[in-house]
Structures are given as structure tokens and as C-alpha cells.
Structure 1
Amino acid sequence: MGFEPHEPEQRRELNSTLLQADITVSELWLRYFSMSGTAGEYEVQAYVEGLISLPALQRHLLAMAAREIISETP
């Protein structure tokens, strides 16, 4: 599967969010998985590192998971 045109920008935004909010990939994956995300933790790590592509729905769930974690942070 190749990268979709908007995927690199989505990845950059997710990485920026993770860094700014000090969210680990493990924390992100756990929330994403609880939202019915289907990728494994290692796949999410590989996606964040730009090594693999994920379907649009899974990328959307990752972004939602990051936003939820941030919204719960005091």
C-alpha cells in the first residue's frame, strides 16, 4: 500500500501533537485500540516513524485518540 497524498501531513501533525503533549506511542495505541482501532502497537509505531501507511479510517482514529488524551490532561 502506498502513501496517500495527505498522509505525510497527517503524520507530521500527529507527531507534533505527540511531542507537544508528551504522549507516548503506547499511550496513543491503548486509547486508539479502545476506540476499535485495528492496527497493533508495533504498526502504530511504524506509522508514526513513517515506515508504513495506514488506511484513512485508522489515521483518523489515531488523531481522535490523541485529541481525547489531550482533553483529559489537566
Structure 2
Amino acid sequence: MAESQQKLMHVAFLLTDLEVREAWLMYFAYGGNKDRWVIDAYLNGLMPLPAHDCNLLALVLVLNERLTELHLPHLASYRG
């Protein structure tokens, strides 16, 4: 489940056309505490993240909000 979520998050991230820095700043603003390089590695499929951080990215990081703005499906999912 976590691996498939990460793949979907990577695709969603690419579709949003956001810079990693922008995504990290939004994640950080909503309480995320991982370094930018960790978020970069996760969004590019290079390392896993704890469920809480994945959910923060999917919920408030703008991936789903940005996808809505672009009229694209919500690929960023939540993990229990």
C-alpha cells in the first residue's frame, strides 16, 4: 500500500508542475517537520515517509488542491 501510494504521489506531484521547494514550504507550513531533501526524495520515489507525513502531503501540500485547479483526478491518497 505505501509503495503504491508513493507512486501515485509521484505522478500527482509531476502533474501539479510544482517545484519541490514550493511543495515543501506548504508541507512545512502545515506542521510537517522533515527536511526539504527528505520530501524531495519521497516525491521522486527514492525513500519512504511515515504515514503522518504522507497524509500531510496528500491533504494540505496542495497536490490535491492543485490537481483540482487543473481539473485532474486526485491521485494523492491517504494512508491509515
TM-score category (smaller protein): 0.7 to 0.9
Within the alignment, does 1:10 sit opposite 2:37 as a pair? Answer: no
* Aligned CA-pair RMSD: 2.0
Unaligned 5+ segments in structure 1 are: 1-5
Q: How many residues align?
A: 68
**TM-score with structure 1 setting the length:** 0.76
Which structure shows the higher helix fraction? 1
TM-score between the two structures when normalised by the length of structure 2: 0.71
Question: In the alignment, what sits opposite 1:61?
Answer: 56
Mapped to 1, the partners of 2:33 and 2:47 lie a distance apart of 15
Equivalents in 2 of 1:12, 1:35: separation in Å?
Answer: 23
